[in-house]
Amino acid sequence: MLKSLRTKIFSSFMLLVLMLVIAGIMSIIEFNKVGVSIKNVMDDNYKSIEQTKQMLDALEREDSGLLMYLMGNREMGSQTINTAYSAIQDAIKIAQNNITEKDEDKYINNIIKKYEEFHTSVKQTTDTSEQLTLEEKNEIYLQNQQLFFSAKKAINELMQLNQEGVYKQTNTMKENSKRAMMPAIVSIVAAIVFALLLNFFISEYFIRPINRLIDGVKSFYPEKGIINSGIKSNDEIKRLETETNNLIGRLLRLKNK
């Protein structure tokens, strides 16, 4: 137990400061986590979703290129197919370097496999289309459509995976931001309780003894000899009572001389 009043008051305020400082640090740490979650959403999941959109766009362009080629616009069709192929390859490379979700690599490998099947079929069609009749071209195009939808489905699955990732990250962000606020909320309540307690202790250990001392001085008469205000603590107020009694003793001795 601390004895000096100064130490008691200083320790109380230091505890309050410590509580608030720690709450601040905890909030900063939690807000930092929110920042990391935002970065994850923006940099990782959003980038992956963008690449899947590029893939879908390129895949549809390749399909249009094939249609153009079969309709007789061979040069334009061939050019569109080649451009779409490069775009898809670029998007796949970026997606491969941006794995953020569990099993995302398996989804990308599935896209590569399905797309290769589609692209190989497109190439075979363009290579042999000169000898085909209109009905045969129509039939081959319909077969390519199956592979086209299969590749499209694989890309959509990757997009869905990343969208779910965004949803999860957003939820995490929501939870983290709530958690970041919590130390502050709890500290406000604790600080109020702390202030009430401090007020009680100050009144109990400082104000009341001083009032007792005042009452003791007021009701003092020389025959009583000393002031006994019933202070039990061993602090400055007790010392004040002792010194007051010493002073009274000295004054009484002086008077008796």
Residues that bind another protein (CB under 8 A): 1-2, 8, 11-12, 15, 18-19, 22-23, 26, 29-30, 175-176, 178-179, 182-183, 186-187, 190, 193-194, 197-198, 200-201, 204-205, 232-233
DSSP state of 40: I
**At its nearest, how many Å lie between another protein and the CB of residue 100?**
18
User: Which CB, 61 or 179, lies closer to another protein?
Assistant: 179
**Angle of helix 74-96 versus helix 46-71 axis, rounded to 10:** 160
User: Which CB, 186 or 247, lies closer to another protein?
Assistant: 186
**At its nearest, how many Å lie between another protein and the CB of residue 23?**
7
In angstroms and rounded to an integer, the radius of gyration of the C-alpha atoms of the chain is 42
**At its nearest, how many Å lie between another protein and the CB of residue 98?**
23
User: Which CB, 15 or 42, lies closer to another protein?
Assistant: 15
Q: Can you tell me the distance from the alpha carbon of 77 to that of 64, in angstroms, rounded to the nearest whole number?
A: 8
Which pairs with CB-CB distance under 8 Å and at least 24 residues apart come from 153-156? 153/114, 154/107, 154/110, 154/111, 154/113, 154/114, 154/115, 155/52, 155/55, 155/56, 155/59, 155/111, 156/52, 156/56
**At its nearest, how many Å lie between another protein and the CB of residue 41?**
17
**At its nearest, how many Å lie between another protein and the CB of residue 78?**
54
User: Which CB, 48 or 229, lies closer to another protein?
Assistant: 229
**At its nearest, how many Å lie between another protein and the CB of residue 42?**
21
Q: Can you tell me the distance from the alpha carbon of 83 to that of 72, in angstroms, rounded to the nearest whole number?
A: 18
- At residue 163's C-alpha, the angle toward residues 160 and 169, to 5°, is 145
User: Which CB, 82 or 167, lies closer to another protein?
Assistant: 167
User: Which CB, 112 or 190, lies closer to another protein?
Assistant: 190
Find, among 102, 204, 85, 196, the residue nearest to 158 by Cα: 102
